[in-house]
Amino acid sequence: MRQIAIMGFGTIGSGVFDVVNTNREILRKNLGEEIQIKHVLDLRDFPGHPVQAVLTHDVNVILEDPEVDVVVETMGGLEPAFTFVRRALEAGKCVATSNKELVAQHGTELLRVARENSVNFFFGASVGGGIPIIRPLLRSLCADDVEEITGILNGTTNYILTKMAQEGSSFEDALREAQDNGFAERKPEADVEGFDACRKIAILSSLMLGRRVDFADIPTEGITGITKEDFRYAAKLGWSIKLLASSRKENGHVYAMVAPGLVKPGHPLFAVCDVFNAIMVHGNMVDDVMFYGRGAGSHATASAVTADILCALRFRHQNVYAGWDAEKQALSDVGSWEKQFLVRAAGDASREEELARAFGQGILVDAGVDGEIGYLTPVISEEKFAEASAALGGVRGRIRVQA
């Protein structure tokens, strides 16, 4: 019998409680021993719920219990999660977390503390919820030079963009509907401004590169500027608009960015809709690999946390490499990153020559939007696009096109 503890009995913590109890026999077979939840830490009480029997309000009960091998952190946020996780690792306990903020901000330090104490800090649920992506990157794709990761890493924004595409809703209406249906938070900034996706791509980039990528270095645009008119162009082209989080090695550069992008039908991410997440990984040997599933939700995310619990129990006295080095990976200025753009300019088709002079030979796109014309540029650098765009005047919007 192996004992574990859960810190935080919210959506994901209660999901872990369910997974461990519902799949008790499957887990026992897999591990060769039974797993028992000995303590659950939360500020609240849950009268009438079976968790009440193992509930504690004092973290020291967990940290000072020598029988607890693995501590699950599902509290979210930076504090007190960071302090509690650090103390658990120092006390010789493995930690499994779903907390992307914690991993993006303090992952490097927590990996070091785990190493120094011959335990493990696992974070398989911090990106993509229930989608297996962290361990496949570390273990299954370890023979490849991973050259690109591009993902739809935020379910809230994908739901909003899907509503805008399918129902012609404005961003504000789609957000309100997402909030009413419980998909979006009442305070939606972290999702709609791209901050959540930024932290997740920072974690994946660190794994891809084997070095620490600072999320603060990643240029991030959310979806608040996406309009009904943008979707008119997407519909005209037969493409979709997604919030894409990308990390790419190209011509000696390492780029990363979070921004809305137009996705063509041939791309694996084209048809990923609603709250689903998907991550496309390109390796130099394996080519494209796609991971798809529920990027959030109680049981989906808890499934990934519980898989980490099993792994942590298997390697409970041995640190295994499951992260990145402390050395910082410098990211290149995205100004030199070359892409195609759809630019929306005031005026009509008579501006074609002017647009071609500004951006290079491209393709006019008339989506029937009053008083403006669209233009698909050739592949040019972000810097050249910004210069040409400023000099042109009358630019109403632009969206990058995913290659």
- Tell me the two tokens of residue 115: 């190493």
Helices first, then strands: H and E counts in the chain? 14, 18
Q: Is 191 in the site for ligand HSE (CB under 6 A)?
A: yes
Instruction: Kindly name the residue from 38, 200, 242, 339 that is annotated as catalytic.
Output: 200
Q: Is 101 in the site for ligand HSE (CB under 6 A)?
A: no
CB of 241 to ligand HSE, least distance (A): 17
Binder to ligand HSE among 295, 323, 362, 374 (CB under 6 A)? Answer: 295
Angle at 275 between CA 274 and CA 279, to 5 degrees: 100
- 249 is annotated as an active-site residue: no
Candidates 2-10, 131-139, 152-160, 256-264; binding stretch for ligand HSE (CB under 6 A): 152-160
Q: What is the DSSP string of 23-86?
A: THHHHHHHHSS-EEEEEEE-SS--TTSGGGGGEES-HHHHHT-TTEEEEEE---SSTTHHHHHH
Q: Is 105 in the site for ligand HSE (CB under 6 A)?
A: no
Enumerate the β-bridge partners of residue 399. Answer: 342
Describe the crossing of helices 382-392 and 352-359 by its angle, rounded to 10 degrees: 140
Residue with tokens 């909003």: 160
Candidates 34-42, 149-157, 160-168, 307-315; binding stretch for ligand HSE (CB under 6 A): 149-157
Residue 295 or residue 362: which is nearer to ligand HSE going by CB? Answer: 295
Q: Is 150 in the site for ligand HSE (CB under 6 A)?
A: no
Residue 155 or residue 323: which is nearer to ligand HSE going by CB? Answer: 155
Describe the crossing of helices 155-167 and 171-180 by its angle, rounded to 10 degrees: 120
Q: Is 196 in the site for ligand HSE (CB under 6 A)?
A: yes
Q: Are 183 and 159 in contact (CB under 8 A)?
A: yes
Binder to ligand HSE among 97, 99, 150, 156 (CB under 6 A)? Answer: 156
Q: In angstroms, what CA-CA distances link 312 with 69, 71, 119, 333, 387?
A: 8, 10, 8, 38, 51
Number of residues forming the site for ligand HSE (CB under 6 A): 8
Residue 293 or residue 323: which is nearer to ligand HSE going by CB? Answer: 293
CB of 149 to ligand HSE, least distance (A): 17
Residues that bind ligand HSE (CB under 6 A): 129, 154-156, 191, 196, 295-296
Q: Which residues carry out catalysis?
A: 200
